Amino acid sequence: MGVDALDLGPGPLAREQVVAVARDGARVVLTPLAEQAIAATREHIDALAAEARPVYGISTGFGALAVRHIPGDRRAALQQSFVRSHAAGSGTAVELEVVRAQMLLRLRTIATGRTGVRPATAHALASLLNAGIVPVVHEFGSLGCSGDLAPLAAVALALTGEGEVFDAAGARRPAAEVLAEAGVEPVVLAEKEGLALTNGTDGMLGMLVLALHDLAALLDVADVTAAMTVEALLGTDRVFAADLQRLRPHPGQAVSAARMAALLAGSPIVASHRGPDCTRVQDAYSLRCAPQVHGAARDTARHAEAVADRELAAAIDNPVVLDDGRVESNGNFHGAPLAYALDFLAIPLADVASMAERRTDRMLDVARSHGLPAFLADDPGVDSGHMIAHYTQAGLVSELKRLAVPASVDSIPTSAMQEDHVSLGWSAARKLRRGVDALTSVLAVELLTAARALDLRAPLEPAPATAAVRDLLRTRVPGPGPDRHVAPEIAAAEDLIRSGAVRSTAARYL
């Protein structure tokens, strides 16, 4: 069920709520509890601002410049200067859904009442989200420590009416113009607000939540394409039996094996070689061990979900306002917990793709395909079939292996050695997004190839579930025949995967 509006309070967010706001445009409304928490905390900040003693983030400079006490008449300039100088990103604009996710997650931390942001500033951020206004955030600028500084500063800058945004129609325009059209008054930042709007792990967390949402669907699709390939290669379904899986009780493995067994249930192709005349002893690992690999990927995702859920209950800021009004510095903005999870996920993405590529290769090789034509070509030699589609798949797998190299083992000191160890979690998140796209394409090629191979097994018919997925593909891609332009067919298969059509079609048989 979709989320049309999100009541945002001091409590944790659910991952599906983040997706609803980031991708589906769900509106955000601050709850009365959030309003109370924000207002109460701001009273503490105003009291501290009036004191003669310097307090970090309120009446001092920032980072390595925290030793300077800033007089009251210069503090508005301090906040604006902070945001302007920190909005120093470079490169192409990141995806709108990523920016919307990080805007929501920053607003959620504000709603906890731990940051000291004024109610009016919180409402302005909610208004940007609800108006479909998305600040331009650049690819590079976050080291994953002291939060996602440059990406979040770009959002804060837009709140003040500076910088650029994408309007509700997707046009890139000056922020001042778009805010005026939407009736959003630009914010004049007060004490603490520059830091509070930028000191969070929201970009990293947003990308992790979105990747987990996509990966859950892709692992379901990987079970489907693997089952189709097992069938197409005259493999056995006996290895997926529940009693065999219970001997190694990993929960993800059990899920994938049960799904593959159900997808292959009632297959005339499988039944055709089940008898005593079958000379096959064991299938290749890429067929037989699919539940073990897909299952391990599922279990890795469960760990990353736990990390994400903890972050969705966190209040990330520095300094942070405590219940008794104390304002304390801390290191909760460090991105290591997210960076590790983001890097960890890149490994199973690469491995699931690598196994899919090996299955695809077997269907194209006459020495291993058990009677299928070379490269599944209509007239091998004249036609090349899926030969180069496999090249594309192999290139994507190689790219996924490169993307699996962790970012979080690196660090580079900045801010005059004040920030002498950073997480590079933003970098881990960016490469994970590329990995999700690459795995989608790899599975699309296996889907195309397995469906073609199943057609070539006629007059034997596939299982009802795999036949339904093949028939879904046939609404967009014709069956076997002379060579055609393959790139649009790969794109069509990708679209069916991304839309959820492959997953939902298979789910009817599970």
Sign, Cα dihedral of 106, 110, 114, 116? positive
Joined tokens for residue 499: 């839309």
Three-class DSSP category at 264? helix
Task: Judge whether 299 and 224 are in contact, CB under 8 Å.
Answer: no
Of 56, 340, 391, 509, which residue is the catalytic one? 56
Question: What is the spatial distance between Cα 249 and Cα 296, in angstroms, rounded to a whole number?
Answer: 11
Three-class DSSP category at 172? strand
Question: What is the spatial distance between Cα 290 and Cα 224, in angstroms, rounded to a whole number?
Answer: 11
Joined tokens for residue 152: 């979040």
- The yes-or-no answer on residue 56 being catalytic is yes
Joined tokens for residue 310: 């903890």
Q: What is the dihedral of CA 211, 213, 216, 217, to 10 degrees?
A: -100
Joined tokens for residue 380: 């091998």
Burial class from Cβ neighbours inside 10 Å (0-12, 13-18, 19+) for residue 279 reads exposed
HEC string of 269-290 equals HHHCCCCCCCCCCCCCHHHHCH
Q: How far apart are the first and last CA of the chain?
A: 20
Question: What is the spatial distance between Cα 274 and Cα 279, in angstroms, rounded to a whole number?
Answer: 10
Q: Is beta strand 138-140 parallel, antiparallel or unpaired with respect to 90-93? A: antiparallel
Q: Tell me the CB-side half-sphere exposure of residue 199, using CA atoms within 13 A.
A: 26
Question: What is the spatial distance between Cα 242 and Cα 256, in angstroms, rounded to a whole number?
Answer: 11
Joined tokens for residue 125: 């951020």
Q: Which residues pair with 174 in a beta bridge?
A: 164
Question: What is the spatial distance between Cα 464 and Cα 17, in angstroms, rounded to a whole number?
Answer: 35
Which residues lie below 8 Å from residue 496, measured CB to CB, with a gap of 6+?
444, 447, 472, 473, 476, 502
Q: Which residues pair with 30 in a beta bridge?
A: 8
Which residues lie below 8 Å from residue 463, measured CB to CB, with a gap of 6+?
227, 231, 263, 264, 265, 266, 267, 268, 269, 270, 509
Please identify every residue annotated as catalytic: 56
